[in-house]
């Protein structure tokens, strides 16, 4: 089984646990607090390390143990901790079905009374960010930052190749051809971690499949996966892969290698999350922040979906229902999501746009991140990540079959048949 399927099975074993509502009570500032973060990349690690040190200095009887993982290793680490019943007091979670697994397994504390509507803490966040962690009308997550996907590009390479920022998907393919002719890899793309490819497909699905159909298909109980937009999106990705990338070899390239190719000036573009802007172009990389630009993956002309949709979702943290000191865990997260710490998180070198109202200062932020936040605000709809919004079995089918499609071993029809079969197996 894939990791995402495994974690769902493991969490199901916790359904006998009693639900836990986080108590609003006096904090006992003593003991050890364990935290699983998604800040394992070298550039990001100091953020939680510094937070922990400052909190410990404020409360000398508290010890904080950090487990720092990156975007890919977090899934395996979470599965291991769940299997050993060692879920940290505070742990990272995506929205959608990923977070829902912890709720259904009764492993996440109900935070409604302290972060829900009308609460002092809840009012400090962007409402949509808090609402993204609602399950069955209750609030379980603490949003830390906002996220969405954009095509980052090198302004010097675009100028050398004589291309403009493309406004349609067809124009993107033509730009790729011109960039390749100029001697550059048009788009660096690593699909060794298969979620990377699904980010392309998720955006294309938003463009090709009407939102109501897409959202119905996210739920196995109402899914049919028979809209022609699915095959259209897969066909568009195949064109993109041929014109813009290294082709089927992308399955052997890591996402970290891909972003490094843009930073090193070897590629013209890299499809990245806004939280990666500050790592794609830095003062010490070949591509400088001033030379970095971005644009949404352009919509195909005449597509049946929403051309103003944007793939993305807030990401954040949950508190374990088994924690022995839930009030302390809540207090630490209130500290972590203060306006001051939000501004630190939003600025270089982290560049993670805070979900806290007033938690970002444009004067101290990367201008591209500021502009990216404006683009997120203008989007008509944020379509969630395919591998976290879907039921684990469906997500597993998307991950494995689409990687085969990218590698040339599966057809578009085979991808959809596998996804449809997975959805039917869940609903029956």
State the helix-helix crossing angle for 392-406 and 3-12, rounded to 10 degrees: 170
Residue 16 has pLDDT above 50, yes or no: no
Contacts of 169 (CB under 8 A, 6+ apart): 207, 236, 240, 297, 298, 299, 300, 301
d(CA 332, CA 242): 48
* Whether 51 and 169 share a structural domain: no
* Whether 323 and 334 share a structural domain: yes
What is the mean predicted confidence (pLDDT) over 126-141? 94
> Per the domain annotation, does 125 fall within a domain?
yes
Residue 428: both structure tokens together: 């029956």
Residue 124 has pLDDT above 80, yes or no: yes
Q: Of the candidates 187, 202, 300, which has an alpha carbon nearest to the alpha carbon of residue 241?
A: 187
Residue 28, Cβ neighbours under 10 Å: how many? 13
User: Lowest-confidence range among 1-10, 39-48, 233-242?
Assistant: 1-10
Res 9: pLDDT: 55
> Per the domain annotation, does 243 fall within a domain?
yes
* Whether 421 and 299 share a structural domain: yes
* Whether 306 and 168 share a structural domain: yes
d(CA 129, CA 144): 9
Residue 19 has pLDDT above 90, yes or no: no
Q: Which residue has the tokens 């200062």?
A: 361
Q: Of the candidates 111, 33, 25, 92, which has an alpha carbon nearest to the alpha carbon of residue 65?
A: 33
Distance from chain centroid for Cα 31 = 32
Residue 155: which domain range? 149-311+388-427
Band (pLDDT 50/70/90 cuts) for residue 372 is very high
* Whether 117 and 164 share a structural domain: no
Bridging pattern class, strands 138-139 and 134-135? antiparallel
Res 316: pLDDT: 97
Res 7: pLDDT: 52
What is the mean predicted confidence (pLDDT) over 141-151? 96
Task: List the CATH number of the domain containing 210.
Answer: 3.40.190.10
CB of 352 closer than 8 Å to CB of 360:
no
pLDDT in tens, 152-175: 999 999 999 999 999 999 999 999
What is the mean predicted confidence (pLDDT) over 10-27? 58
d(CA 268, CA 153): 6
> Per the domain annotation, does 383 fall within a domain?
no
**Its pTM surpasses 0.85:** yes
* Whether 167 and 279 share a structural domain: yes
Residue 312: both structure tokens together: 């993305």
Q: Of the candidates 169, 185, 180, 189, which has an alpha carbon nearest to the alpha carbon of residue 248?
A: 189
> Per the domain annotation, does 380 fall within a domain?
no
d(CA 211, CA 383): 9
> Per the domain annotation, does 392 fall within a domain?
yes
> Per the domain annotation, does 109 fall within a domain?
yes
Band (pLDDT 50/70/90 cuts) for residue 8 is low
Res 377: pLDDT: 86
pLDDT in tens, 23-77: 557 899 999 999 999 999 999 999 999 999 999 999 999 999 999 999 889 989 9
Res 237: pLDDT: 98
Q: How confident is the prediction for the chain on average, in pLDDT? A: 93
Backbone angles phi, psi at 219, to 5 degrees: -100, 115
What is the separation, in whole angstroms, between the first and last Cα of the chain? 20
pLDDT in tens, 286-330: 999 999 999 999 999 999 999 999 999 999 999 999 999 999 999
* Whether 80 and 164 share a structural domain: no
Is the bond preceding 196 in cis, omega lying within 30 degrees of 0?
no
Res 22: pLDDT: 65
d(CA 428, CA 417): 16
Q: Indicate the number of domains in the chain.
A: 2
Out of 124-133, 177-186, 387-396, the most confident range is 177-186
Bridging pattern class, strands 267-273 and 185-187? parallel
Q: Which residue has the tokens 């639900």?
A: 19
Res 15: pLDDT: 44
> Per the domain annotation, does 321 fall within a domain?
yes
Q: Of the candidates 274, 369, 295, 330, which has an alpha carbon nearest to the alpha carbon of residue 108?
A: 330
* Whether 408 and 394 share a structural domain: yes
Q: Which residue has the tokens 């979670």?
A: 93
What is the mean predicted confidence (pLDDT) over 101-122? 95
User: Lowest-confidence range among 96-100, 250-254, 400-404?
Assistant: 96-100
Residue 20, Cβ neighbours under 10 Å: how many? 17
* Whether 403 and 332 share a structural domain: no
* Whether 395 and 281 share a structural domain: yes
Query: If DSSP states are collapsed to H, E and C, what string results for the chain?
Result: CCHHHHHHHHHHCCCCCCCCECCCCCCCCCEEEEEEECCCCCCCHHHHHHHHHHHHHHCCCEEEEEEECCCCHHHHHHHHHHHCCCCCCEEEECCCHHHHHHHHCCCECECHHHHCCCCCCHHHECHHHHHCCEECCEECCEEEECCEEEEEEEHHHHHHHCCCCCCCHHHHHHHHHHHHHCCCEEECCCCCCCHHHHHHHHHHHHHHCCHHHHHHHHCCCCCCCCCHHHHHHHHHHHHHHHHHCCHHHHHHCCHHHHHHHHHCCCEEEEEEEHHHHHHHCCCCCCCCHHHEEEECCCCCCCCCCCCCEEEECCEEEEEECCCCCHHHHHHHHHHHCCHHHHHHHHCCCCCCCECECCCCCCCCCCHHHHHHHHHHHHCCEEECCHHHHCCHHHHHHHHHHHHHHHCCCCCHHHHHHHHHHHHHHHHC
d(CA 92, CA 145): 12
> Per the domain annotation, does 94 fall within a domain?
yes
* Whether 109 and 229 share a structural domain: no
Residue 97: both structure tokens together: 């079905």
* Whether 28 and 80 share a structural domain: yes
Band (pLDDT 50/70/90 cuts) for residue 207 is very high
């Amino acid at each position: 089984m894939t990791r995402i399927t495994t974690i769902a099975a493991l969490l199901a074993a916790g359904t006998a646990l009693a639900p836990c509502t986080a108590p609003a009570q006096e904090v006992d500032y003593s003991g050890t607090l364990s935290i699983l973060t998604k800040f394992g990349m070298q550039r990001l690690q100091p953020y939680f390390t510094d937070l922990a040190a400052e909190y410990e200095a404020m409360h000398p009887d508290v010890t904080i143990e950090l487990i720092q993982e990156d975007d890919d290793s977090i899934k395996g680490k979470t599965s291991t901790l769940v299997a050993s019943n060692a879920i940290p007091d505070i742990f990272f979670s995506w929205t959608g079905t990923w977070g829902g697994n912890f709720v259904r397994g009764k492993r996440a504390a109900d935070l409604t009374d302290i972060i829900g509507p009308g609460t002092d803490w809840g009012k400090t966040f962007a409402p949509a960010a808090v609402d993204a962690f609602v399950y069955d009308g209750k609030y379980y997550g603490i949003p830390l930052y906002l996220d969405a996907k954009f095509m980052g590009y090198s302004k010097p390479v675009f100028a050398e190749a004589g291309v403009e920022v493309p406004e349609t998907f067809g124009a993107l393919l033509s730009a790729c051809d011109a960039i390749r002719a100029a001697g550059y890899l048009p788009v660096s793309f690593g699909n060794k971690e298969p979620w990377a490819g699904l980010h392309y497909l998720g955006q294309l699905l938003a463009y090709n499949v009407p939102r109501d159909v897409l959202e119905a298909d996210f739920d196995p109980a109402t899914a049919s996966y028979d809209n022609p937009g699915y095959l259209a999106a897969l066909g568009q990705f195949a064109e993109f892969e041929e014109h813009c990338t290294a082709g089927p070899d992308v399955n052997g390239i890591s996402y970290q290698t891909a972003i490094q190719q843009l930073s090193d000036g070897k590629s013209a573009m890299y499809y990245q999350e806004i939280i990666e802007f500050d790592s794609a172009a830095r003062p010490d990389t070949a591509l400088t922040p001033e030379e970095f630009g971005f644009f949404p993956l352009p919509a195909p002309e005449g597509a049946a979906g929403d051309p103003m949709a944007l793939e993305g979702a807030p990401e954040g943290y949950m508190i374990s229902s088994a924690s022995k000191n839930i009030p302390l865990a809540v207090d630490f997260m209130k500290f972590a999501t203060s306006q001051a710490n939000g501004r630190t998180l939003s600025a270089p070198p982290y560049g993670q746009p805070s979900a806290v109202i007033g938690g970002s200062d444009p004067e101290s932020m990367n201008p591209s991140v500021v502009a990216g936040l404006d683009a997120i605000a203008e989007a008509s709809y944020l379509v969630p990540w395919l591998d976290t919004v879907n039921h684990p079995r469906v997500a597993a089918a998307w991950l494995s079959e689409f990687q085969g499609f990218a590698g040339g071993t599966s057809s578009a029809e085979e991808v959809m048949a596998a996804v449809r079969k997975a959805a039917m197996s869940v609903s029956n």
